[in-house]
Amino acid sequence: MLEGFIQNILNALQWGSFYSLIALGYCLVYGVLLLINFAHGDIFMVGAYIAFFVSMSLLGEFGVIPGMPTWLVLTLSVPLVMILTAMVGVTLERVAYRPLRRKGVNRLYVVITALMCGLILENGNLAILGASRKSFPTLFEQTVYNIGGVSFTNLKVAVILVAVLSFVFLRFVVVKTKIGMAMRAISYDKFAVPLMGIPVDSIIVFTFVLGSGFAGLAGLLFAMTYPVLDPYMGALIGWKAFIAAVVGGIGSIRGAFAGGFLLGFVEIMVVAFFPSTLRDLIAFAILLVILTLKPTGLFGVARRTKI
Amino acid sequence: MKRVTTPILLLILLVILVALCSTKVLNIYWQSVLMFMGINVILATSLNIVNGNMGEFSCGHAGFMAVGAYVSSVLSVLFFAKDKVFGDALFPPELAIPFFPVILVIGALAAAVVGLLVAIPSFKTRGDYLAIITIAANYIVKSTIENIDAIGGARGFMGMGKVTAAMRGTIGLPWMVIWVFLGTVFSVWLIRRFIFSTLGNGVNAICQDEIAAEIMSVNTDRMKLTAFMVSCGLAGLAGGLFAHVLGYVNPGSFTILKSTEIMVMVYLGGMGSLSGSVLAAILITLLMEGLRFFFPFLTDVLHWTHVLPASYEVSQVWKWVLIPLCLVLLMQFRPEGIMGNRELADIFPGLRKYYKFKG
């Protein structure tokens, strides 16, 4: 009984890690721009595909350098995937969001643009690469450890560790560094910030680099854990991660992290005790109740509205 | 004279439609295109109340459509068709025609009640948090339907074809075309009355500034409740019609993608413009059907000019790249949509001659 419980907790931690990594990206962009970047789930999907192409082109006999060992491929692909995915995110920002921001249109229009960009990414991927699922190559020799009836793989531990480290890193960036201070300042007062000599556009690009980079990392890890890729994999997980970010209190890094794990726990526990088809139903119902009781989320602070 | 021009025109249109459909001048394909057009008009105009007039961001409209679709399908199959689960028909098939609107209305009411799921949280939250609640509501509805095995679960529910066949068997008219037409006219009429009533002005006031509206003695909770319930109820009506036109529903048709499709129509037409939504719904339906023929044509042209290798075909998936791309471009260059927040009569004042409306 206890072993089963601990096993479930481990699974929940791993599942929650993915939600957390994606929710962190939502939350960074929201924290700065007050924009729900609905394309973020699809950036995660693009990250997974980039990981696929990067590792396929590095790996094997026909790679760039033939016969490269897998550990080297992995160490090379992590930064490569993060950089390339970050470029996708920044491209979206430059092409779609920035012109709208310059015009100073209603925030809603930017949200719709984001939603549509997400659709373009996933359907464009489907149209170009076809509907056949890609299976991800093994980059990581998985070993199963068994301690007291609880079994886990080294990959599972790595995923959880990466999520925690990313959280610590992002929190450090946002809270302790000067650029993080600028990010918080932009969300606090958009008009005063340029007067203080802060380059708003560079800060926003930096935010997108961070958010998309970590979405790419999540994509790589997800592809390694569940090695089947399809173009719609980002849609559902993206929506759910967004819900996790809102439940945590959108705009707060801690909230996004906690919300991701909370959603992971709820889903795994529902599957453990109920039929698995009820997973979405119960998970969303619980989140709805949380939001009704505490409308600003777990860590959110209510913004005062001035009259 | 003014009072009756529009109803007479609509009646003539209905008669022409029925005549064209029963004489098979319009084949089944065109009939279904017309019917989907009507359903899309109901969906777009009803979402426009919440997303346009009230200025909220609801992205779960398909969920309420699903409620209406399932409730009315189950009722109509229970009453008028022989089914494995529900047994023999409770009523003789001759009663199908007078009872069908009642069934649709019950479906719409059920959807309106489920709309409370969104309406009550909206008292306290708005903006991004409300958006998330609507998404969650859409998932909850879809997931609930998938888990009820009696109505087919994820496999879907069928048998509505027998009901429409029963109606056609009693009086040989294209009944679904008539019902969709009446439903569309009814929805547009209802929404127009609603928007220009005192309640509707309150809804517009919430869009401008909720706190100021509250100070001006607008009962915002009541406004929101009414607006959400009308919007969700009409979505349920559209869902009921949708289910009976197709003769088959499954939960997979009511995903976020469907909600997004409806949102595209609203924002293409212009937020808060009723005639804009109608126009956009018609335009999008035609565009979708047009693209269905355009892609094979494009493939042939590109193969002939050797731009594309013969092994690659331009698939229908490109449709869902093109339509979002159009909307992105629209947002860049004309973010207010086709009509802005104006109505057709504001652009062509001459139209006012033909209808009388107590404002």
| Residue that wins the pLDDT comparison between A139 and A120 | A120
Q: How many Å lie between the alpha carbon of A281 and the closest alpha carbon of chain B?
A: 5
d(CA A144, CA A150): 10
Question: Quick one: which of B172, B163, B177, B178 has its CA closest to B92?
Answer: B163
pLDDT band of A305, cuts 50, 70, 90: low
- In this predicted structure, what is the pLDDT of residue A141? 75
Q: Which domains does chain B have, with CATH numbers?
A: 2-354 (1.10.3470)
Listing DSSP states for B250-261 in one string gives: -GGGGSHHHHHH
CA-nearest residue of chain B to A37? B128
d(CA A148, CA A50): 38
Summarised one tens digit per residue, pLDDT across range A276-290 is 788 888 888 888 888
Tokens in use for A289? 């109740």
Task: Give me the residue label for tokens 């173009």.
Answer: A231
Question: What is the torsional sign of CA B144, B150, B152, B154?
Answer: positive
Question: Quick one: which of B108, B139, B120 has its CA closest to B230?
Answer: B108
d(CA A143, CA A138): 13
For residue B157, the SS3 value is: strand
Amino acid at A43: I
Tokens in use for A151? 């079994």
d(CA A6, CA B224): 45
Put simply, whether B265 touches A (Cβ < 8 Å) is: no
- pLDDT over 90, % of chain B: 25
Tokens in use for A298? 């777990």
- pLDDT over 70, % of chain B: 96
Summarised one tens digit per residue, pLDDT across range B295-322 is 888 888 888 887 777 777 777 788 888 8
A258 phi/psi in degrees, rounded to 5: -65, -40
d(CA A160, CA A157): 5
pLDDT band of A62, cuts 50, 70, 90: low
Contact A103 B335 (CB under 8 A): yes
- In this predicted structure, what is the pLDDT of residue B48? 92
d(CA B61, CA B233): 10
Summarised one tens digit per residue, pLDDT across range A9-54 is 888 999 999 999 999 988 888 888 888 888 999 999 999 999 998 8
Summarised one tens digit per residue, pLDDT across range A210-248 is 999 999 999 999 998 888 888 888 888 888 888 888 888
Tokens in use for B93? 């098939």
Beta-bridge partner residues of A150 = A147
Asked if residues B64 and B141 have their Cβ atoms less than 8 Å apart, the reply is yes
Instruction: Give the mean pLDDT of chain A.
Output: 85
- In this predicted structure, what is the pLDDT of residue B323? 85
d(CA A207, CA A90): 9
CA-nearest residue of chain A to B118? A288
Output DSSP code: residue A165: H
| Residue that wins the pLDDT comparison between A55 and A60 | A55
For residue B92, the SS3 value is: coil
Mean pLDDT confidence for B278-292: 90
**Residue B57, CA distances (Å) to B104, B271, B337 in order:** 27, 11, 16
Question: Quick one: which of B277, B308, B91, B313 has its CA closest to B184?
Answer: B277
Summarised one tens digit per residue, pLDDT across range B70-119 is 999 999 888 887 776 677 777 777 788 888 899 999 999 999 999 988 88
Contact list in B for residue A239 (CB cut-off 8 A) is 135, 139, 256
Tokens in use for B334? 């004309």
- In this predicted structure, what is the pLDDT of residue B1? 58
d(CA A140, CA A71): 7
Of B139, B211, B271, the CB nearest to A284: B139
Of A96, A112, A126, the CB nearest to B267: A112
Summarised one tens digit per residue, pLDDT across range A74-119 is 888 899 999 999 999 999 999 988 888 888 777 778 888 898 899 8
With a CB-CB cutoff of 8 Å, which residues 138-197 of chain B face chain A? Answer: 139-140, 142-144, 146-147, 153-154
Tokens in use for B252? 């997979």
Contact list in B for residue A281 (CB cut-off 8 A) is 139-140, 143-144, 147
Contact A120 B137 (CB under 8 A): no
- The residue among B328, B329, B341 with the most chain A CBs within 10 A of its CB, best to mutate, is B328
Asked if residues A237 and A41 have their Cβ atoms less than 8 Å apart, the reply is yes
Q: How many Å lie between the alpha carbon of A39 and the closest alpha carbon of chain B?
A: 12
Question: What is the torsional sign of CA B202, B135, B40, B270?
Answer: positive
- In this predicted structure, what is the pLDDT of residue A135? 82
Q: How many Å lie between the alpha carbon of A277 and the closest alpha carbon of chain B?
A: 7
Q: What's the predicted TM-score (pTM) here? A: 0.87
Contact A100 B332 (CB under 8 A): yes
Contact B328 A117 (CB under 8 A): yes
Put simply, whether B287 touches A (Cβ < 8 Å) is: no
Tokens in use for A52? 């696929």
Mean pLDDT confidence for B252-262: 87
User: Measured in Å, how far apart are chain B's first and last C-alpha atoms?
Assistant: 18
Amino acid at B278: V
Burial A82-108 (b: 16+ CB within 10 A, else e): bebbbbbbbebbeebbeebbeeebeeb
Distance from CA of residue B280 to its chain's centroid?
Answer: 12
ipTM confidence: 0.82
d(CA B348, CA B352): 8
Question: Quick one: which of A210, A184, A228 has its CA closest to A43?
Answer: A210
Question: Quick one: which of A245, A249, A220 has its CA closest to A84?
Answer: A220
Length of chain A: 307
- The residue among B321, B326, B329 with the most chain A CBs within 10 A of its CB, best to mutate, is B321
pLDDT at A304 over 80: no
Instruction: Give the mean pLDDT of chain B.
Output: 86
Exposure on the CB side of residue B49, measured as CA atoms within 13 A: 34
Contact list in B for residue A36 (CB cut-off 8 A) is 128, 131
Summarised one tens digit per residue, pLDDT across range B48-72 is 999 888 888 888 899 999 999 999 9
- In this predicted structure, what is the pLDDT of residue B359? 45
Question: Quick one: which of B99, B51, B47, B76 has its CA closest to B233?
Answer: B47
Question: Quick one: which of B142, B175, B183 has its CA closest to B37?
Answer: B183
Distance from CA of residue A78 to its chain's centroid?
Answer: 15
Other residues' Cβ atoms within 10 Å of the Cβ of residue A150: 16
Amino acid at B124: K
d(CA A52, CA A142): 18
Contact B128 A115 (CB under 8 A): no
Put simply, whether B307 touches A (Cβ < 8 Å) is: no
Put simply, whether A169 touches B (Cβ < 8 Å) is: no
- In this predicted structure, what is the pLDDT of residue B57? 85
d(CA B252, CA B136): 16
Listing DSSP states for B47-77 in one string gives: HIIIIIIS------HHHHHHHHHHHHHHHHH
Q: Helices B61-80 and B96-114 sit at what angle, rounded to 10 degrees? A: 150
- In this predicted structure, what is the pLDDT of residue B2? 66
**Residue B19, CA distances (Å) to B12, B22, B32, B172 in order:** 10, 5, 16, 12
Summarised one tens digit per residue, pLDDT across range B12-23 is 999 998 888 888
| CB neighbour list of residue B225: distance below 8 Å, 6 or more residues apart | B116, B119, B120
Amino acid at B24: K
Summarised one tens digit per residue, pLDDT across range B137-176 is 898 899 899 888 888 778 888 888 888 888 888 887 888 8
Mean pLDDT confidence for A55-63: 74
Strand residues in chain B grouped as ranges (E): 157-158, 248-249
- In this predicted structure, what is the pLDDT of residue A131? 74
Q: Which domains does chain A have, with CATH numbers?
A: 2-293 (1.10.3470)
For chain A, counts of helices (H) and of strands (E): 12, 4
Contact list in B for residue A297 (CB cut-off 8 A) is 129
